[in-house]
Amino acid sequence: MKITDDKVVVLHYAVSDNEDTLIDSSYDHSPLSVIQGSHYLIPGLEEALVEHQAGDKFEVEVSAENAYGQREDGFVQTVPKDMFGGIEDLAVGSQLRATTDEGEQTVIVIDVTEDDITVDGNHPLAGIDLKFDVEILAVRDATEEELAHGHVHAEGGCGHSH
C-alpha cells in the first residue's frame, strides 16, 4: 500500500543537520506513527513520504523553508526581568510560555542579565537545512476514529477522551 493522505504511516527516522550532526533518531526507541496529511510532520518530510510503501528506506534533504522556516530576528526580544513576576531561577536554555499576537508560544531564554532577559521565539531548528534517513515499517488505512481525532490510536483506542 502506497502512502497517501489519510494513511497511518509507521516509520523510523534519523535527522541530522547539514554538517551531519545527529539531531534526533527514533531507531533507539519506538517508531513514529502519524496520519499522512495531518501536518504533524514538517512539510518537506510529509511530502517526501508520498508514494512510498512499507519496506522503503530512503534519504531526503529538507530545506529550512520546508522544515521549521528561516530564523526571524524579530522573534528575539529583550524584556525586563520583572515581567516574569519574580521568577528568580531563569537560566539560559529555560523554556517559557509567552503570549504573542498569534497566541501562546514557547520561547527559550538565551541571555540573562541583572535587569533583563533575552528570549528567542524561533524554533531551535529554524534556519537549518535537515537530512532525514527514513525507513517505512508499515502503512495502513486510518480508522474513522483516528481521522476524527487527528492522531493514530494504539490497539484498543487512544486512551483519553476528546
CATH number of the domain located at residue range(s) 7-68+126-149 in this protein:
3.10.50.40
**Per-residue pLDDT, 73:** 93
Question: Partners of 19 in the beta sheet?
Answer: none
The H or E element that residue 45 is part of is helix 43-49
- Give the CA dihedral 16, 11, 65, 112, nearest 10 degrees: -60
Residue with cell 501562546: 104
**Per-residue pLDDT, 144:** 94
**How far is the C-alpha of 126 from the C-alpha of 123, rounded, in Å?**
5
**Per-residue pLDDT, 82:** 81
**Per-residue pLDDT, 89:** 74
Q: What is the DSSP letter of 162?
A: -
Domain assignments of the chain as residue spans, ordered by start: 7-68+126-149, 73-120
Q: Which residues of the chain are under the pLDDT cut of 70?
A: 86-88, 155-162
**How far is the C-alpha of 44 from the C-alpha of 85, rounded, in Å?**
40
The whole-model pTM stands at 0.81
CATH number of the domain located at residue range(s) 73-120 in this protein:
2.40.10.330
Our measurement of the distance from residue 154's CA atom to the centroid of its chain's CA atoms, rounded to an integer in Å, reads 21
Degrees, nearest 5: CA angle 114-118-122: 165
**Per-residue pLDDT, 158:** 53
Q: What is the DSSP letter of 90?
A: -
